[in-house]
Amino acid sequence: MGGHQVGVTLMAKSDKEQRNLAVNRQAPHFYHFFEKFEAGIELTGTEVKSIREGRASLKDAYAVVRRGEVWLVDCHIGAYAAGSYMNLDSLRERRLLLHRQEINKLMGRTAERGLTLIPLRFYVKNNMIKCEIALAKGKTVFDRRETLRRRTIDRETAQDIREHRRNHS
């Protein structure tokens, strides 16, 4: 029975440990997501410390499959303050670590017209920094307007329901 309790506390710790370090908030606005993948990232020590300090931005980042490897491009990781000469270029390309079958699948899917790989977030899992990437297709202007319209209607509906409950309680 004691071992079971230890397992429960370990599970709770690992759930709590998976916190977001950087999030691409604009991605859902500009893309439709089809499939998500978890990838490791090849980083230097100062980059890890910088990401943990919250100095990473995924705003303009994307991933490409080149020569059987997946690379993260245009991801900005700021310089670590105490890094001195160990700091590298903040916009350098970084290799994403995926299983071979996942890379082959991504190679085939990104060859299709209009599909791209977009990083959604950096997070910590088992004390390692991971990157969640999504196979995505760009939204048209009409789709973006439709999403905004739907979000506005949902917000107004929720507000009306709250006011109705407040007035009739």
List pLDDT tens digits, range 41-66.
888 888 888 888 888 888 888 898 98
34 inside domain: yes
91 inside domain: yes
Q: How many domains, the chain?
A: 1
56 inside domain: yes
8 inside domain: no
Q: Is the pLDDT of residue 2 over 50?
A: no
Question: What pLDDT, in 10s, does the model give residues 113-164?
Answer: 778 899 999 888 888 888 999 998 888 888 888 888 988 999 999 998 888 8
The angle at the Cα of 150, spanning 148 to 153, to the nearest 5 degrees, equals: 110
Question: What CATH number did the domain enclosing 131 receive?
Answer: 2.40.280.10
11 inside domain: no
4 inside domain: no
Under 8 Å CB-to-CB from 64, ≥6 apart: which residues? 70, 71, 73, 110, 117
pLDDT given at position 21: 86
Rounded to an integer, what distance in angstroms lies between the CA atom of residue 31 and that of residue 29?
Answer: 6
> At 15, phi and psi to the nearest 5?
-65, -45
Q: Is the pLDDT of residue 13 over 70?
A: no
Residue with tokens 């499959």: 65
Which pLDDT band holds residue 38 (cuts at 50, 70, 90)?
very high
Three-state DSSP class for residue 79: coil
Rounded to an integer, what distance in angstroms lies between the CA atom of residue 31 and that of residue 65?
Answer: 19
CA torsion sign, 141 to 144 to 150 to 152? negative
pTM (two decimals)? 0.70
In angstroms, the Cα distances linking 106 to 14, 30, 58, 65, 137 are 28, 20, 20, 7, 13
5 inside domain: no
What domain range includes position 107? 16-158
6 inside domain: no
Average pLDDT over residues 5-11: 38
Which pLDDT band holds residue 100 (cuts at 50, 70, 90)?
very high
